[in-house]
Chains A and B, each alone.
Chain A
Amino acid sequence: MKKFLTQFRALLWQALQVEWSNSERWLSPLLFSATMIILFVFSFGKVEPKFLPQLYIAATFITAFLSLQIAFSRVLEPDMQDKVFDQLRTYPISPSAWFLSKYTIVILLGVLILLPTLFLSNLFLNEGPVSFLSGSILIIGLLALLSLGALGVLLSTMMLRSNAKQILYPLIYFPLTTPVLLSAVESSHAVLVDAKVLSDLMSSWLGLLVIFGIMYFTLCLLLFGELVKPE
């Protein structure tokens, strides 16, 4: 257990240092997100107030999804240089510690992108007196992020080992993320349009979102070890 924690700490600290030393890596998805929101605002123009919640949900989730996809696809880039990834595979590293460190950094990056996206969407798209940005929406966003983050780490690692990375990533990532996005969008719709509380949604869309989160996290944790084994 001590070795696991030491390795987890070393891998996480290194990843944080790399992200910190190269701010372009997290700044680009963030700027992309802000640009998308502004484009949505201009393209929608004046909208009837009753449609604003739907537009908020659509614009926010599309923007967050694409920005996160950019960030996730680049999360293992530092390991690709100078054969670092191969060297890591020759070390006696616990695959779980390795996965969890990458997962943590992905979630941190995700939060860094998701929170401003939710805030900017509310700022630019909400013309009414009541804020769309609530604790419920934040929880739904974070739950979606937990699922997407696990998939992001697994698929990025898979792509490192594959010769067909340009084709495989979109082919696998988008179909797998569809149920997560659908659950998040439907849950948000129920909260913002139908004025439901989260506890009412546990037996429907929100429950599905939680199940997918647990399922993807467990699957990705188990499969990651297979990806770093000898070829």
Chain B
Amino acid sequence: MLDIKLLSFRYQYKTILSRLSFSAVPGEILHITGPNGSGKTTLMSILAGLRKEASGTIEYKLPNGKAASDRRDHVEYLPAEANALFGKMDAMSNLRFWRGLRALEQSDATLRAVLKRWDLDHPLIRENFPVESFSTGMKRRLALARLELSETPCWLLDEPLYGLDTKGIETFQTLLDNHLQGGGITVIVSHDIAPLEKFPVRRLDLLKEVKA
């Protein structure tokens, strides 16, 4: 469980988040909503560990109820405006690298099985073809393949559907379904809500929270 208590964040003199408390629980999507500039991406970057909260606590609770010493061991973040891929490297090298950082095994069979799900397993695409030559949708699919390969129980997804075609959205729904069925936690920021309607979703409206 991701447990947030009395979280506040200020950017220079402007209060972006004020005494925000909520929990993201296994098997459920927590959908962060709010108009542009309400602090959705800021909140996600704080949860991911990129920004430091002004006050409050963020804890990732392990199944035994204890707080994890470093929540980054359990959390994978997908940013909104980027895919965090090395443009000069190919798809397989990118995935091997990110898996290596989590000290996970990097067998080609594992990587290719996931790439296949995302329609990126063609020999002319997966190896010796720089990611910078991918289309927008292909880059997003590769970033989602990395998410799947992270084997983390908690996902922070900021506009995950950006650039995906219909088939890509269906693959994402299958991935999300498996993740939630397996007791995974998902926090999403997305303006495209239709693909999420089939899942158990709880909404957190940042505008209401800040006003409250």
Contacts and interface: CB of A to CB of B under 8 A. Distances in A.
A89 interface: yes
A83 B81 contact: yes
A7 B100 contact: yes
Contact of A10 (B70, B76, B79, B97): B97
Given A3-B103, A11-B101, A14-B89, A231 B51 contact: yes
Contact of A92 (B70, B84, B100): B70
Nearest to A21: B88
A27 interface: no
A99 to B, nearest CB: 15
B26 to A, nearest CB: 20
Interface in B83-103: 83-89, 93, 96-98, 100-103
A7 B103 contact: yes
Contact of B103 (A2, A83, A86, A230): A2
Nearest to B84: A87
A83 B82 contact: yes
Contacts of A3: 103
A14 B100 CA distance: 10
Interface of A is mostly: helix
Interface in B40-66: 45-46, 48-52
A6 interface: yes
B88 A91 contact: no
B188 interface: no
By CB atoms of chain B within 10 A, which of A13, A92, A93, A230 has the most? A92
Contacts of A2: 103
Contacts of A88: 101
Interface string A92-121: 110000000000000000000000000000
B3 interface: no
Interface of B: 45-46, 48-52, 70, 72-73, 75-77, 79, 81-89, 93, 96-98, 100-103, 130
